[in-house]
Amino acid sequence: MVLRESDVDRWPGGDVATQRMPQFAAIGEFAGSQVIVLRDPELTTVVPLELGGVLLVTAVYCEGDRSLDGHLEMLPVSGWHVLPRKFRATGGNYTLFDGSLSGKALKDPALQPKILEEHGGVIQFALAEGTYDVECFGPWDPDAQTSLWLTRVVRSAV
C-alpha cells in the first residue's frame, strides 16, 4: 500500500488487496486521495528514479538486498503493463506498508520488530505533486535465485 503519510494514522487496516486484482498493482481511493494497492506488499522496497517517481520492487524470493543491485541495472524494457488509470500525487511524503495493518499498529513501538520481520517494515519517501503512470512487470526471474514483481510509478507525459 502506498498512502500519503498524513493519512496513515486514519488507515483502518484490513484486506485491501485481493486475488480479484487483474494486475499486481491497482489505484484506489482513501481519505480523498489516491493510493496504490499492491497485491502482496510484503518485502517491497522503494528505489527512487532519476527523472522522478519510484520503482517498487517486491521480492518473491531472492538471495538478499545486495543481489538486487545488479538486476536493477538491467530492468526489462518491454512487456510492462500500464494501468489505465493515472495516479495523482498531492506531493510530499508517502508511506509504503502492508495495508492489512492499521495505522495504529504501524505507530505502536512494541510492534515495530514484528512489522519489520513479518511485513517488511514501513518505508517513507517523497513523491512530487503531479500525475503518474503506474506500470507493472512480473513476475520477473532475472536468474534462478531471484523472482521479483516490479511496479514503476513514473511521471505521465500528458
Predicted local confidence at residue 125, as pLDDT: 96
Q: Are 71 and 132 a contacting pair, CB within 8 Å? A: no
Read off the pLDDT of each residue in 100-107 and give the average, rounded to a whole number.
90
Range of the domain at 30: 2-155
Q: Which of the four pLDDT bands, split at 50, 70 and 90, describes residue 64?
A: low
* pLDDT surpasses 70 at 146: yes
Residue with the larger pLDDT of the pair 158 and 122:
122
| pLDDT score for 66 | 64
pLDDT at 17 over 80: no
21-31 CB burial, b ≥16 within 10 A, e <16: eebbbbbbebe
Residue 158 reports pLDDT greater than 90: no
Q: What is the dihedral of CA 115, 118, 119, 121, to 10 degrees?
A: 50
pLDDT value for 67: 66
Indicate if the pLDDT at residue 98 is higher than 70: yes
State the chain's mean pLDDT as an integer.
Answer: 88
Q: How many whole angstroms separate alpha carbon 54 and alpha carbon 99?
A: 19
- The count of domains in the chain is 1
